[in-house]
Amino acid sequence: MNENMQLLRERLQEIRDLNAAAGLLYWDQTTYMPPAASPARARQMATLRRISHQKSVDPELGRLLDELDPYAEGLPPGSDDAALVRLARRDYERATRVPSDFVARFAQHRAETFEAWTRARPADDFALVQPYLEKTVQYSREMAGFFPGYEHIADPLIDFSDYGIKVSILRPLFAELRQGLRPLLQAIAKKPPIDDACLRQTYPVEQQLAFVRELVQHLGYDMQRGRIDLVPHPYTTMFSIYDVRLTTRASAELLNEALFGTIHEAGHSLYDQGIDPAFEGTPLARGASSGVHESQSRLWENVVGRSRAFWTFFYPRLQQVFPDQLANVPLETFYRAANKVQPGLIRVNADELTYNMHIIIRFELELDLLEGRLAVADLPEAWRERYRRDLGVVPPDDRDGVMQDMHWYYGSVGGGFQGYTIGNILSAQFFNAAVRAEDEIPADIERGEFGRLLGWLQENVYRHGRKFDPVELVERATGRPLQLDDYMDYLWKKYGELYGLEK
Amino acid sequence: MNENMQLLRERLQEIRDLNAAAGLLYWDQTTYMPPAASPARARQMATLRRISHQKSVDPELGRLLDELDPYAEGLPPGSDDAALVRLARRDYERATRVPSDFVARFAQHRAETFEAWTRARPADDFALVQPYLEKTVQYSREMAGFFPGYEHIADPLIDFSDYGIKVSILRPLFAELRQGLRPLLQAIAKKPPIDDACLRQTYPVEQQLAFVRELVQHLGYDMQRGRIDLVPHPYTTMFSIYDVRLTTRASAELLNEALFGTIHEAGHSLYDQGIDPAFEGTPLARGASSGVHESQSRLWENVVGRSRAFWTFFYPRLQQVFPDQLANVPLETFYRAANKVQPGLIRVNADELTYNMHIIIRFELELDLLEGRLAVADLPEAWRERYRRDLGVVPPDDRDGVMQDMHWYYGSVGGGFQGYTIGNILSAQFFNAAVRAEDEIPADIERGEFGRLLGWLQENVYRHGRKFDPVELVERATGRPLQLDDYMDYLWKKYGELYGLEK
């Protein structure tokens, strides 16, 4: 083995270990940490992130990469070493372009903004966060400015989480999606609403958790390399390929949160647990992008987990756990309830169809803010206007309007939302490719067998980690670039049948 | 504030934060980590320890300390800044005297030794660990050699955990203790054994944990700044003054483990939670030494937690939780059972009296090994001989003999055991000093009031953290140096009364 490759691996592993430790500090904070520990914990996380950043921009790392270039150029393009050098180079260039004092100032500003948001939101006081958000827009533009040569000012910000995806791709794609969703939503609005009362009964939390714990293991989630804990805002976190933890929440009055929320996080976890163990401790051991990662949570949550076939197998089991609540509820009633479409104010509670509208609204508002066509002061009104137009609902306050999500108050403005809808689109594209390759998958699901689907996804997506750029990975796995056809077909077929619609 | 002091604090805080993160990685490993994660976790902990060590020996830190010397010399000797500079200087000198490649080689050897021990102990195969232990003795002597000028080769090793305590102090002190314990143990051996059957009943673990959770909070353990979890080998860990976690274990067949084990750990925790918050993030925010720390676990576990006064208050509560087991057991029977003396093979199961014999045996064997007067090959036989002579019991195998404790197979030989008995001796010395100052303390305990005792300990011991050297702290708090009188008086009074003995 090339000696410099060994040195590179050691440096990258050190950065990875620091980030994993910071990740555990965060996981602990949201699960088991005593309440009074917060300020010291924030300091500890900042220390680890700072040291990790210092190591990410160490000029010695740059020199090592320079020395490795001839070696990497001699490798076949599909080799793991070549991918490792390429990614390490990309991460290094990206990190070194942003001056360290900017990183520190922006981090400080983000912490202050988040703190202000936690006070402003419950008080419905947008004026309190407005000056912070104005600064955040400024910082976000400055951040983009460190990456000159972009087509659109949002492109560098999108690049951080969805490498290679540009506004010039997303704007027409999202416009087409909105155009496609509109008639579907209008047709559904004319139909009688689905009755989802069966989901809104009293469901003891402990039994819900026991059920979903079994369920996700049935899908393939490996508890030897993971665990499940309750948190207020669920997420999946990975400390190594051997330690991928899922978090979830549960409501005693609404089955959806634990049920579909846990399947969603299990999708993320299956991806991370499926990465090639040879990549452990390197920058290859992550998902390809935010959008590709989300495609897996959505594939398992929606395409699989809200399908009639899935519940044909699991519903009798669910009825056994909750006989008082469900013994007299037919499968069809439950299936329909799980797929009820209803425009609402809150993104995280949205159904499969309207969810995308929430994202498109945020994405377009971000572009307007970054382009300078919308002032932060006018943002609450713009938000209400879009909601009225696209979803037919108007938030009565800013709490459930423009201050709803933490994203803008915790990170940059730009780059944080597009991945959700890219994920929705890709969920159908990947699933269809899997079924084309293995046509027994739909019948498998009805029998509660997920090995063939999981196997295809592992082989074509998961095991590669970050080895291929997202655009390339999608083409390799599905035979075509990111496109809307599979997703729109999926939606029309499913919701057309559910609501009795003609396209 | 002196600008260099600020720079020093930042550097020390960075080291402290890295160590706290490594501590959390360990806590997580012993509590909630998925089983398959071990190898990656070991690597992550090693990475953090390595970076922490690099920062501890950074020559920039040395230059900063040099520049601070004139400032520190101008400060009054009791000032916190002076103590901080003094401790930072001591830690830096200590860390830099040991070459980094020795640190790395010894760490590697310790990991391999520990791994061998985990296989050798269940197989009762001392021959397997013998070559490792021989190397460990060699490493331990080499380690001492980096600190020339010592009186005894074990002194530098003892210094790491019990600063300022030397073999020349401990050898006569422990000899005197053995001389004092011998007639006491001989007199007890002639009496009929205490019946402790009441502790050996079926006690559901959940109820035990609920009881001790209440109990330690009653003593003053702050759950806003701590938590309690189950582990196989209990310990207390501190990530900040605001996050001091206690771990414990419980047996459904024996009440002692959860009951007295949790009070023991609560003693450690009360100490750490009582440190002056102004010291947070600095090397001052730790206990004064291993022995002083153990004095607090022992004070709460034994001097307080196994006293008749303590159970006069708590026993009716315990009876309420376990009526089937204890309703017909009188307080006196329970109190006697909790203080039963019986020589045995296992240190961690030993009673208050014989515990010290286990420590003295190990301490003296360590000295023999380091002095070269005992070969590792002869250690198992020497162990059996000492147990026969000092405790009148002989281990039937090496599993419960020389391979019993992980200490020698995880760290150095020398410096790891003396703190336990120093702690026992100091537990009585500190308690007596508290009672001399506040004579209502014994009556308080009988009423279940611990505020006055805790207050005295906080004021005289806990709040100072590591500000005073252990020798000075003991003198300040108790008015005299470490000595045996209080402890022997305490033992004779308690066990004389229990067993009806005349001194």
Measure in Å the smallest separation between the Cα of A299 and chain B Cα atoms.
26
The predicted pLDDT at position A202 comes to 98
B227 close contact with A: CB closer than 8 A: yes
Q: How many C-beta atoms lie closer than 10 Å to residue A370's C-beta?
A: 22
A444 pLDDT above the threshold of 70: yes
Which residues in A129-162 are b (16+ Cβ under 10 Å) and which e? bbebbbbbbebbbebbeebeebebbbbbbbbbbb
Measure in Å the smallest separation between the Cα of A289 and chain B Cα atoms.
24
Q: Which residues of B touch A243 (CB under 8 A)?
A: 33-34, 36-37, 40-41
Average pLDDT, chain B: 97
The predicted pLDDT at position A503 comes to 74
The predicted pLDDT at position A285 comes to 97
Would you place residue B77 in the very low, low, confident or very high pLDDT band (cuts 50, 70, 90)? confident
Average pLDDT, integer, range B28-41: 95
Q: Which of A20, A37, A47 sits opposite B243 (nearest CB)?
A: A37
B107 close contact with A: CB closer than 8 A: no
3-state secondary structure A352-376: CCHHHHHHHHHHHHHHHHHHCCCCH
- Alpha-carbon distance of B253 to B233, in angstroms, equals 17
Per-residue model confidence as pLDDT tens digits over A414-428: 999 999 999 999 999
The predicted pLDDT at position B494 comes to 98
Per-residue model confidence as pLDDT tens digits over A276-317: 999 999 999 999 999 999 999 999 999 999 999 999 999 999
Q: Which of A20, A32, A242 sits opposite B36 (nearest CB)?
A: A242
Q: Which residues of A touch B36 (CB under 8 A)?
A: 222, 224-225, 242-243
- Alpha-carbon distance of B455 to A457, in angstroms, equals 62
Task: Provide the residue ranges of all domains of chain B, joining segments of one domain with +.
Answer: 3-97, 197-341+420-486
Q: Please spell the DSSP secondary structure of B313-328, one letter per residue.
A: HHHHHHHHH-HHHHTT
Cβ contact, residue pair A17, B225, below 8 Å: no
The predicted pLDDT at position B1 comes to 63
The one-letter amino acid code at A249 reads: R
Per-residue model confidence as pLDDT tens digits over B148-165: 999 999 999 999 999 999
Q: Which of B25, B37, B47 sits opposite A225 (nearest CB)?
A: B37
How many secondary structure helices (H) and strands (E) does chain A include? 22, 3
Cβ contact, residue pair B239, A40, below 8 Å: yes
CA of B37: which chain A residue's CA is closest? Answer: A242
Tokens of A47: 């220390």
Per-residue model confidence as pLDDT tens digits over B94-110: 999 999 899 989 998 99
Q: Which residues of B touch A14 (CB under 8 A)?
A: 47, 51
Q: Which residues make beta-bridge pairs with A237?
A: A245
Q: Which residues of B touch A28 (CB under 8 A)?
A: 24, 28
Q: Which residues of B touch A224 (CB under 8 A)?
A: 34-36
Q: Which residues of A touch B281 (CB under 8 A)?
A: 40, 43
Q: For chains A and B, what is the number of CB pairs under 8 angstroms?
A: 117
- Alpha-carbon distance of A330 to B152, in angstroms, equals 82
> What single-letter DSSP state applies at residue A426?
H
Spatial neighbors of B427 by CB under 8 A, at least 6 apart, are: B295, B296, B298, B299, B302, B303, B487
Give the distance, in angstroms, between the CA of residue A290 and the centroid of all CA atoms in the same chain: 6
CA of B16: which chain A residue's CA is closest? Answer: A44
Would you place residue B2 in the very low, low, confident or very high pLDDT band (cuts 50, 70, 90)? confident
Name the percent of chain B in helix, strand, coil, to the closest 5.
70, 5, 30
Marked catalytic residue, from B265, B301, B364, B366:
B265
- SS3 of B247, please? strand
Q: Which of B32, B51, B226 sits opposite A227 (nearest CB)?
A: B32
A138 close contact with B: CB closer than 8 A: no
- Alpha-carbon distance of B274 to B276, in angstroms, equals 6
Question: In angstroms, what CA-CA distances link B99 with A501, B53, B60, B107?
Answer: 77, 11, 17, 12
CATH architecture of B197-341+420-486: Orthogonal Bundle (1.10)
Measure in Å the smallest separation between the Cα of A57 and chain B Cα atoms.
16
Marked catalytic residue, from A3, A14, A265, A381:
A265
Longest Cα pair distance anywhere in chain A, in angstroms?
69
Upper half-sphere CA count for residue A470 (Cβ side, 13 Å): 24
Upper half-sphere CA count for residue B483 (Cβ side, 13 Å): 10
- Alpha-carbon distance of A493 to A472, in angstroms, equals 28
Q: Which residues of B touch A240 (CB under 8 A)?
A: 37, 40-41, 44
Cβ contact, residue pair A33, B243, below 8 Å: yes
- Alpha-carbon distance of B113 to A15, in angstroms, equals 28
The predicted pLDDT at position A89 comes to 96
> What single-letter DSSP state applies at residue A500?
T
Per-residue model confidence as pLDDT tens digits over B58-70: 999 999 999 999 9
Measure in Å the smallest separation between the Cα of A79 and chain B Cα atoms.
24
Give B166-172 contacts, CB < 8 A, sequence gap 24+.
Answer: B167/B367, B169/B482, B170/B363, B170/B418, B170/B422, B171/B367
Spatial neighbors of B116 by CB under 8 A, at least 6 apart, are: B128, B129, B132, B409
Measure in Å the smallest separation between the Cα of B22 and chain A Cα atoms.
8
pTM: 0.95
Measure in Å the smallest separation between the Cα of B363 and chain A Cα atoms.
37
B503 pLDDT above the threshold of 80: no
CA of A226: which chain B residue's CA is closest? Answer: B34
Per-residue model confidence as pLDDT tens digits over A173-219: 999 999 999 999 999 999 999 999 999 999 999 999 999 999 999 99
DSSP E strand boundaries for B163-316 = 228-230, 236-240, 243-248
Per-residue model confidence as pLDDT tens digits over B237-296: 999 999 999 999 999 999 999 999 999 999 999 999 999 999 999 999 999 999 999 999
More confident call, A433 vs A1: A433
Give the distance, in angstroms, between the CA of residue A428 and the centroid of all CA atoms in the same chain: 16
Residue B265 known to be catalytic: yes
Q: Which of B18, B40, B245 sits opposite A242 (nearest CB)?
A: B40
Per-residue model confidence as pLDDT tens digits over A222-267: 999 999 999 999 999 999 999 999 999 999 999 999 999 999 999 9
Q: Which residues of B touch A36 (CB under 8 A)?
A: 222, 224-225, 242-243
3-state secondary structure A232-271: CCCCEEEEECCEEEEEECCCCCCCHHHHHHHHHHHHHHHH
Per-residue model confidence as pLDDT tens digits over B296-351: 999 999 999 999 999 999 999 999 999 999 999 999 999 999 999 999 999 999 99
Cβ contact, residue pair A241, B40, below 8 Å: yes
Cβ contact, residue pair A243, B36, below 8 Å: yes
Tokens of B361: 């045996």
- Alpha-carbon distance of A345 to A354, in angstroms, equals 10
- Alpha-carbon distance of B286 to B384, in angstroms, equals 37
Per-residue model confidence as pLDDT tens digits over B160-205: 999 999 999 999 999 999 999 999 999 999 999 999 999 999 999 9
B109 close contact with A: CB closer than 8 A: no
